[in-house]
Amino acid sequence: MKVITKGSPGLIKAWAFYDWANSVYPLVISTAIFPIYYTSMTNSFANIDGDISFLGLLWDPTTLYDYTLSLSFLIVAFCSPILSGIADYTGNKLKFLKSFCLLGSISVMGLFFFKGESTLWLALIFTVLASIGFWGSLVFYNSYLPEVASPDKQDEVSAKGFMYGYFGSVLLLVLSLVLVQKPNWFGIIDPTFAPRITFLLVGIWWLSFAQVTFKRLPNNIYHLKPDNDYIWKGFLELKFVFKSLKNQLQLKYFLIAFFFLSVGVQTIILMAGIFGSKELGLPTINLILTIIIVQIVAIFGAYLFSKISNRIGNILSLKITLCIWGSVCLIAFALDRTLPNIDSYFYLMGIVLGFVLGATQTLTRSTYSKLLPETQDHATYFSFYDVTEKIAIVLGMFLFGFLISLTGSMQYSVLALAIFFFLAFIIFFKVKNFHSL
């Protein structure tokens, strides 16, 4: 078998191709088709006040969806240390990447069976499992970055992964858009059948293209052998990482800023479709077109900011993106469905968001990788990164849903997210700006 060395084009492409495979989940399922489909379905069986019944209680549908996603991220945050411990102490990182990919893709396909009130429980269960599969796999996928590329190439390689993901996910989203808008072209009569077909396509796409990555990624490059009690060592390793932050102030402040940043970024990504549909009353076609615009612009944003960071530094580049994120929150708060040409405002906001989305995701991953100390336990450090992000999402989604239940509007929820971008911006002043390490 041909040995693929660190930094080789073949290894980098194989690693980045997992973004091509899995990015259809956050785009089509988390952001575009499923949230819009969920809103449409729950509206069809909601009571006169807009509430739905689940587990004997009445819920605002959006709040129930928020809390469901929060639960999934809480589970991932708890499981991640165990999984990283297993991976680091048994050398089976690739095996767990495959397992979570399988869980996520099969669960996404399971959403096909959500057809009405009687199957709402299936939608919520598969939403949790798909989320666990996707985010769990990213723990191991991201931890490969230091093993795939040297520090001076990690911005570029991280950007390549996201660019692959944006390209691939847009292709499938365009096909999904055609299915949803023109079901008669395919002989589809049932209006719920077309979006449910897209859920099957996402699962098949994710699982199939991931095989390209699985075929080439190395496994157990440090020749680790199974150790006793390795299941719980992940928590001990996280405790060690947490204590080590006392002597790694740059990494400590970066993670604090990353936490606040993630509260805002991930909540906006997950709730953008529902915000446009329910708060602004935009039709499905406008929402999906906006999301396609976001993805296309994000490709250029990821590429451009990887170049900008080489000139002005990673941290300064991230500060610029935070200013833009905060501004978008203020603009979204001011939007109202009664405004003339509200769809044009939403398109414009999507362009701005797309530009910084690719940049933020690329730079946070590569900056963290550069700040890591010399270590063989990359999965543990990236597990800490992952747990930080997931707890941030739990807070963001819970706060978003809670404010909706208090105010009856998403606009105050969006406004609250601007506070977290401001906090991240302030804390980044504690982190030294650098071009490369």
What is the model's pTM? 0.77
Residue corresponding to tokens 């690329």: 362
Query: Which domains are seen in the chain, by residue range?
Result: 9-47+58-209+228-430 (1.20.1250.20)
Contact status, residue 19 vs residue 142, Cβ threshold 8 Å: no
pLDDT of 220: 58
Contact in structure between 146 and 382 (CB atoms under 8 Å):
no
Mean pLDDT computed over every residue of the chain: 84
> Structure tokens of 402?
């809670």
| pLDDT score recorded for residue 110 | 96
According to the model, what pLDDT value does residue 375 have?
64
For residue range 181-202, what is the model confidence (pLDDT) as tens digits?
888 888 888 888 999 999 999 9
What's the pLDDT at 319?
93
How many Å apart are CA 423 and CA 411, to the nearest integer? Answer: 20
- Per-residue model confidence (pLDDT) at position 325: 93
**% the chain with pLDDT above 70:** 91
Structure confidence at residue 255 as a pLDDT band (50, 70, 90)? very high
Q: What is the pLDDT of residue 105?
A: 97
Give the residue among 246, 235, 210 at the shortest CA–CA distance from 106.
210
* Predicted confidence (pLDDT) per residue in 89-123, tens digit: 666 778 889 999 999 999 999 999 999 899 999 99
CB 88 within 8 A of CB 377: yes
- The whole-number average pLDDT for the span 265-278 is 82
CA distance to 44, 51, 102, 119, per residue, from 48 (Å) = 11, 7, 40, 21
The pLDDT, as a whole number, for residue 107 is: 97
Contact 241/380 with Cβ under 8 angstroms?
yes
* Residue pLDDT, tens place only, 19-59: 999 999 988 888 778 988 898 899 888 898 888 999 888 89
Residue 94 near residue 156, CB atoms below 8 Å: no
The full 3-state SS of the chain, as one line of letters, equals CCCCCCCCHHHHHHHHHHHHHHCHHHHHHHHHHHHHHHHHHHHHHCCCCCCEEECCEEECHHHHHHHHHHHHHHHHHHHHHHHHHHHHHHCCHHHHHHHHHHHHHHHHHHHHHCCCHHHHHHHHHHHHHHHHHHHHHHHHHHHCHHHHCCHHHHHHHHHHHHHHHHHHHHHHHHHHHHHHHCHHHHCCCCCCHHHHHHHHHHHHHHHHHHHHHHHHCCCCCCCCCCCCCHHHHHHHHHHHHHHHHHHCHHHHHHHHHHHHHHHHHHHHHHHHHHHHHHHCCCCHHHHHHHHHHHHHHHHHHHHHHHHHHHHHCHHHHHHHHHHHHHHHHHHHHHCCCCCCCHHHHHHHHHHHHHHHHHHHHHHHHHHHHHHCCCCCCHHHHHHHHHHHHHHHHHHHHHHHHHHHHHHCCCHHHHHHHHHHHHHHHHHHHHCCCCCCC
CB 380 within 8 A of CB 327: no
Q: In this predicted model, what pLDDT tens digit does every residue of 374-386 receive, in sequence order?
A: 765 666 777 788 7
Query: Does 437 have pLDDT greater than 50?
Result: no
With cut-offs at 50, 70 and 90, classify the pLDDT of residue 436.
very low
pLDDT, tens digit, for every residue of 210-228?
999 998 887 655 555 555 5
**pLDDT at res. 114:** 94
pLDDT, residue 134, reads 92
- For the chain, the C-alpha Rg in angstroms (whole number) is 21
CA distance 120 to 39: 12
Phi, psi of 58 (to 5 degrees): -95, 135
Residue 8 φ/ψ region, left for φ over 0, alpha for ψ in the -120 to 50 degree band, beta for the rest: beta
pLDDT by residue (tens digit) across 285-334?
788 888 888 878 887 887 888 788 888 888 899 999 999 999 989 988 88
pLDDT score, position 421: 95
What does the alpha-carbon distance between residue 355 and residue 61 come to, in Å, rounded to a whole number? 30
More confident residue, 16 or 282: 16
- Residues 65 and 272: their CA atoms lie apart, in Å, by 13
CB distance 144 to 169 below 8 Å: no
CB 130 within 8 A of CB 256: no
- Beta pairing partners, 59: 52
